[in-house]
């Protein structure tokens, strides 16, 4: 057997390994997190499995373990990414966009109406809340996100000059409205939804009720 023939199996193994090595370098953890989030939204948490994601991304299971310890690690990172994007980064953008408390309030009320981005955010939120009903880790992430968002709403009302207790109550009510409007986005026409938003704004800016 000559040298080229003897080396053929080695060349084949190297050629087969090249796509896998390329996948490790081209697929970032964020790629896996985004793919997992997509499966979560479209199929539910039970389908967020390593083999499913690897098949969709066109790589082997080994590529997954290049970035994550196990499935639990991936799921934790999915929740972290959601919390960062849908809570921390969003709150920071709202705070920077307007320093006037009334304008911040209007921005908050408008969140459920921001086109495809709002619809996408609502679908992810609904999927994660469904997951949280049966999983403690997801429930803790949802509870923390809700608490952080309500606290931000409270600071807006405090900036409007409302006392602590009043600001806290209105913050909770406004957040509840946003969640409901996002999840019930098919209820009413666009004009009716805008009318609801205007009504909520008037309620939120009304003077506190007398004791």
Residue-wise pLDDT for 23-66, tens only, equals: 455 789 999 999 999 999 999 999 999 999 999 999 988 899 99
CB of 123 within 8 A of CB of 41? Answer: yes
Secondary structure letter of residue 161 according to DSSP? T
Domain boundaries, the chain: 20-68, 78-211
d(CA 98, CA 20): 47
Pair of tokens at residue 40: 């979560």
Question: Whose CA is closest to 162, among 90, 102, 92, 110?
Answer: 102
| CATH 1.10.10 corresponds to the domain 20-68 | yes
The mean pLDDT of 11-33, rounded to a whole number, is 64
Residue 126 CB neighbour total at 10 angstroms = 14
CA distances from 18 to 22, 64, 115, 182, 187 (A): 6, 16, 42, 45, 52
pLDDT(6) > 90: no
Q: What is the pLDDT of residue 183?
A: 82
pLDDT(151) > 80: yes
d(CA 135, CA 141): 10
Residue-wise pLDDT for 189-201, tens only, equals: 999 999 999 999 9
Q: What is the pLDDT of residue 123?
A: 94
d(CA 126, CA 179): 10
Residue 91 CB neighbour total at 10 angstroms = 17
d(CA 166, CA 97): 25
Residue 176 CB neighbour total at 10 angstroms = 13
Q: What is the pLDDT of residue 211?
A: 64
The mean pLDDT of 131-137, rounded to a whole number, is 97
């Amino acid at each position: 057997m000559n040298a080229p023939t003897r080396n053929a199996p080695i060349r084949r193994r190297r050629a087969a390994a090249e796509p896998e090595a390329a996948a490790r370098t081209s697929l970032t953890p964020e790629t896996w997190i985004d793919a997992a989030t997509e499966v979560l939204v479209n199929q539910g948490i039970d389908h967020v499995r390593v083999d499913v994601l690897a098949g969709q991304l066109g790589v082997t299971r080994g590529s997954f373990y290049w970035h994550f310890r196990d499935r639990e690690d991936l799921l934790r990172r999915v929740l972290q990414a959601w919390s960062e994007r849908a809570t921390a980064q969003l709150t920071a953008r709202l705070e920077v966009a307007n320093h006037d408390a009334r304008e911040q309030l209007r921005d908050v009320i408008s969140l459920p109406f921001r086109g495809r981005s709002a619809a996408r955010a609502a679908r992810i939120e609904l999927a994660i809340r469904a997951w949280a009903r049966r999983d403690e880790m997801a429930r803790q992430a949802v509870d923390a996100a809700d608490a952080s968002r309500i606290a931000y709403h409270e600071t807006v009302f405090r900036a409007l000059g409302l006392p602590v207790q009043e600001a806290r109550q209105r913050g909770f009510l406004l957040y509840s409205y946003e969640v409901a409007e996002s999840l019930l986005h098919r209820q009413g026409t666009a004009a009716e939804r805008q009318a609801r938003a205007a009504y909520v704004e008037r309620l939120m800016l009304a003077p506190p009720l007398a004791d």
